[in-house]
Amino acid sequence: MTDTSEQVHEATSFWGEQTTRRWLISSAIVSIGLIAGGFLLGDGLVRAKDADRSVTVRGLDEREVLADLATWTISYSATAGDLQAAQSAVDTDSQSIKAFFKDIGFPEDALQPTGVNVSYYSDRGVGRYTVRQRMTLRTKDIERAQDAVKRQVELVRRGVVLEDGSGMSYTFTGLDEIKPEMVAEATKDARAAAEQFAKDSGADVGSIRKATQGYFSINARDGESGGWGVSDTPYKKVRVVTTVDFSLD
């Protein structure tokens, strides 16, 4: 009877020790898993945080250019008691304008009529006709166009009365040729700004993550020009701003 009780006690102790051992092993495995998982999760968060390190800066490039197209719209008119007389006066002015540009050296096809208007009004029973006409000079000879503007007083001496809105305008048409170089320079300027930021924060500038090109603007170099017959200037300033997102290492 005693031997049997002792055997039962020994068996119970054996299975209890086995159960405890298995529990300890399982707990150790779970602990190791939690530690490893925590480390991997923490390392992943660090790497994700590092991946998000970036700086967004703007780069600028400006350059002065000379316009390559000049357009001068000349408006003039004549008023008379009958339509034929008004038209005759305008025709005389047209011949004077053509002679003016020919004397300066422009070919005949550089100057073209671009519009005509006839109006009639009556004042105290007296009718008056007004004929308005426009002629436009279009040329790539910028130097000669500037000379024409300087000598426009000669038109007045020839009897031509210029109306408001008669002025030379200059256009730069070579933007596509300088776009790539200007974008490259603006990007270089943006990187220089990013490198300064990175230096102050103890980091290094990496690759471009995202870049946005701003629009190109072309304006008069010295601001708006004023004066009769001068509504623009051939000296232009082209400007572009880019926004670049650089990664930081």
Distance separating alpha carbons of residues 185 and 216, to the nearest angstrom: 13
% pLDDT > 90, the chain: 57
Summarised one tens digit per residue, pLDDT across range 159-214 is: 998 888 778 899 999 999 999 999 999 999 999 999 998 888 888 898 999 998 88
Higher pLDDT, 45 or 217: 217
Long-range contacts at 87-95 (CB < 8 A, ≥ 24 apart): 87/131, 89/131, 90/131, 90/132, 90/133, 92/159, 93/133, 93/159, 93/160, 93/161, 94/133, 94/135
- The first and second tokens of residue 199, run together, are 């230096």
Length of the chain in terms of residues written: 249
Q: What is the pLDDT of residue 229?
A: 46
- The first and second tokens of residue 130, run together, are 């007004």
Q: What global pTM score does this model have?
A: 0.69
Summarised one tens digit per residue, pLDDT across range 199-245 is: 888 888 989 999 988 889 999 988 755 444 455 889 999 999 999 99
Summarised one tens digit per residue, pLDDT across range 84-126 is: 999 999 999 999 999 999 999 999 999 999 999 999 988 888 8
Out of 53-62, 86-95, 123-132, the most confident range is: 86-95
Distance separating alpha carbons of residues 220 and 232, to the nearest angstrom: 7
